[in-house]
Amino acid sequence: MTKGGKNLVILGVASVVVAIATTSASLAIYHNSGDIYLDRSRPGYLPDKEEIEEEPVEEDYSLEKSGLVTEQVIDEYLKAYEIELEAMDSYKEPFTSDALSDEKLGIPAAE
């Protein structure tokens, strides 16, 4: 092996060692600082008991299980559709910057 080849191997090994060391250090800091417990995207995250809301969930409209389409079924569907349409029409300016604000999305403010 030539001198250039040996230097290339040394450079590759050194790069891998530095990458492992910096990744290990950052994960240790992440774990020791407690930020790992704030990461809600982790599959094992469970919310605190105070965060769980016990409100009844409204069921969305669903069609009959039998699959029969009668005038009564169509009328019920149109009534449910009108309710949704009115809710969408109630948005004053849907494309403004505050359209995704916590208040518009129904997210309670942190206290």
Asked if the model's pLDDT at residue 31 lies above 90, the reply is no
Distance CA 86, CA 67 (A): 27
| 68 lies in the same domain as 39 | no
Question: Per-residue pLDDT for 21 more than 70?
Answer: yes
Higher per-residue confidence, 48 vs 101: 101
How many distinct structural domains can be found in the chain? Answer: 2
Categorize the per-residue pLDDT at 108 as very low, low, confident or very high, splitting at 50, 70 and 90: confident
Same domain, 4 and 35: yes
Same domain for 36 and 71? no
Confidence (pTM): 0.36
Domain membership of residue 107 (yes or no) is: no
- Per the structure, the complete domain to which residue 65 belongs is given by 60-93
* Whole-number Cα distances in Å, 101 to 15, 96, 107: 44, 10, 8
Six-digit token pair at 50? Answer: 């105070």
Question: Do the domain assignments include residue 103?
Answer: no
